Chains A and B, each alone.
Chain A
Amino acid sequence: MKRVFNIGLLIFSIMFFVSCASGVPYTQLNPSLYPENPNNGRIFFYRPSALGAAIQPKIIMNGETIGTAISHGFFYLDRQPGDYEVVTSTEVKRKVSFVLDEGQTRYIRFNIGMGFFMGHVYGELVDSEEAMKEIEKCKYIPEEKRKS
């Protein structure tokens, strides 16, 4: 019985750590908070919690797949000013809509909520102060990893 428990614990631990981001820490990468082109805006995407780490939905912004919501991970994109909708799909589609202005930086945090068969990962618009405290503990997800 103890052996079964230990094996279960080992499998759970491996799944947990494999499911979390493993890139360069935010504090080491220290990315600019502002878009490279001042006519654009910058959007940070991050998922600070390890809860439901094995559930990693694709992130679709205005119809384009831009990455995956990986626990303890973050990435950012520069985009033209305009209206944006970010969708994550698990057993249902969840959406966050917002406006991006010229030179503005927005922060989208992915949380996990209760679902029927599995948790729902959904995006939320967050103030910069709150976001910075959380992103500092996250690791960068490079493009090849977040789109794989």
Chain B
Amino acid sequence: MKTIKFVMVWFVIISSALFVACAFDLAHLKYAPTTLTECNEECPTFTLKEELVLNNLPCGYNRKLKENSEWKKVGATEFGDVYKSLNQCLTLECSNVFEAYLVLNGNDITGFYLPVEDGYVALKNPIKITKK
């Protein structure tokens, strides 16, 4: 009986020490630093023809781009043209949440621009969009 008690006490002490010593692991979004060159002249807009689901985004999240969502070009980076939504929120999420704009090359979404961080997150495979 004494032995069991002794083992239990040590088990609690070691477990506590172990858990206190471990930091909770946050999932970080990896992005490349970039610079947005704002469009000063005519900034084109487009409307998405149909809903588009973006799968396998960083940290395993998915996002939906709504049918009829409107997107306006706000500038360009070395990775492509940057479009901001006028009527829907778009974010990327790991442990933290980041507002995101689309980066397009022609009709392909190739990644995301993070306006607060000035960062670029690339998609593994480009996703084609259909404009109205």
A123 touches B97 (CB 8 A): yes
Cβ of A113 to closest chain B Cβ, rounded Å: 9
A10-18, A95-103, A133-141: which lies at the interface = A95-103
A97 touches B24 (CB 8 A): no
> Does residue B26 face the partner (Cβ distance < 8 Å to A)?
yes
Whose C-beta in chain B lies nearest to the C-beta of A123? Answer: B97
A124 touches B116 (CB 8 A): no
Main secondary structure of the interface of B (DSSP, over half): loop
Report how far A69 CA is from B38 CA in the complex, Å. Answer: 36
B88 touches A115 (CB 8 A): no
Residues of A within 8 Å of B97, CB to CB, are 95-97, 122-125
Find A126's partner among B24, B26, B89, B115 (CB 8 Å cutoff): B89
**1/0 contact string of B90-131 vs chain A (CB within 8 Å):** 010101111100000000000000111100000000000000
Report how far A138 CA is from B30 CA in the complex, Å. Answer: 35
**1/0 contact string of B54-83 vs chain A (CB within 8 Å):** 000000000000000000000000000000
Report how far A126 CA is from B115 CA in the complex, Å. Answer: 17
> Does residue A116 face the partner (Cβ distance < 8 Å to B)?
yes
B24 touches A115 (CB 8 A): yes
6 A–B contact pairs at CB < 8 A? A92-B26, A94-B96, A95-B97, A97-B97, A116-B19, A125-B91
- Residue numbers of A with Cβ under 8 A of B are 83-85, 91-92, 94-99, 115-117, 122-127
